[in-house]
Amino acid sequence: MKSINRKKFISRLGTGVGGSFFGTSLITAFKTADNEDCKITPVQELGPYPAMKYRTQPDHDVDLTTIEGQTGIATGQIITVFGRITNKHCNPVASAVVEIWSANHYGKYRHEFDTKGQDDPNFQGWGQAITNSNGEYRFKTIVPGLYSDRARHIHFKISKRGYHELVTQLYFEGEDRNKTDGPLNQLTHEEQQQIIRPLLDKDVYKQMEFNIVIEEVLKGAVPEKVLKDYVGTYELEFKGTILEKLQSYVGGPYEEIPLKIENEGTQVYMTLPFAPRTEIIWSQKDEFQAWAFFRSSIRFVRDQSGAIASLELHYGVGNNIIRGIRQNNG
């Protein structure tokens, strides 16, 4: 059983396992969004350790500081992270799935491929919440430890039917590493201010408010019948590529890797064995942005008959191109 403190926390939120709706009594805990003009929140990378193997763990609720069936509490400074999900018109987005994950106090992720650092058997590692009618969400977690050369951060992924999926990261104000963090410093100063938030003394635990703006899918922009041309499985030629050099992050060893492309209406998603399903965004004919997957893009290649025969995954910065041969039509 979870500790009594945790039960009180969950009860106060009005949430259950998996992140159900908040009670209306929580509404007063949220102030007006700092992002009053409701600019879309900047996209950041998924990183190498999004929840994969542990996605099947029964306990992935809004309290990451304990695990169901265990009596211990996660090591580290406990904090509350909360906010609102809105659209660019500042209207709340209800029933959005908000997922977070981060390193534990020792800087290690709860992930099968992160083998460095110290485990914390009481840190849940990731969690999900569902926003209430006012677009509000709330998590109880810990201040993550430092990982590699990165600044301290918490990963977020927000999904809602009819909206583009958003992957981003929350950073801690005043951290020295914010000045040198690679993904953070790819953004403009204005964009950085949207995702760097202060840690404030406001309750039993210190709090961070992180309001997030997601973008609605533009209806009719790209017909669904056009997008279906890209659907299928593509075998990536892995050997000799930059991904082969990153074996410690992506498992393996691999000879080839299946990259699955599927669509739901006018949204298109890619899935790899070592990464969760992630939306890719149409940019022009046969080209999609996959920014959340290590700043990548995808270009589909047609044969002489005009049919899609292969793709090129342009991976990150530089000229890193990984080719994939189409195996089927989905």
- The active-site residue out of 49, 147, 163, 230 is 147
Q: Which residues of 193-228 are buried (b: 16+ CB within 10 A; e: fewer)?
A: ebbbbebeeeeebbbbbbbbbbeebeeeebeeeebe
User: Tokens 């430890």 identify what position?
Assistant: 145
Angstrom distance (rounded) from CA 85 to CA 105: 27
Q: What is the DSSP string of 226-283?
A: HHGGG-EEEEEE-TTSHHHHTHHHH----SEEEEEEEEETTEEEEEETTEEEEEEEEE
From the list 111, 136, 113, 131, the residue with the least C-alpha distance to 123 is 111
**For this structure, is 147 an active site residue?**
yes
User: DSSP state, 63?
Assistant: B
From the list 62, 107, 49, the residue with the least C-alpha distance to 246 is 49
**For this structure, is 153 an active site residue?**
yes
- The active-site residue out of 110, 111, 150, 152 is 150
Angstrom distance (rounded) from CA 20 to CA 258: 34
Angstrom distance (rounded) from CA 5 to CA 248: 38
**For this structure, is 111 an active site residue?**
no
HSE at residue 284, side-chain half, CA atoms within 13 A, is 0
Alpha-carbon Rg of the chain, whole angstroms? 20
Q: Is 323 helix (H, G, I), strand (E, B) or coil?
A: strand
What pairs with residue 236 in β-bridges? 257, 324
Q: Which amino acid is at 283?
A: S
Angstrom distance (rounded) from CA 181 to CA 173: 13
Give CA separation, 35 vs 88, 130, 173, in Å: 10, 21, 16
- The active-site residue out of 60, 138, 152, 155 is 155
- The active-site residue out of 109, 163, 171, 234 is 109
Q: What is the dihedral of CA 257, 262, 268, 272, to 10 degrees?
A: -20
- The active-site residue out of 60, 84, 152, 153 is 153
Would you name the residues annotated as active-site residues? 109, 147, 150, 153, 155
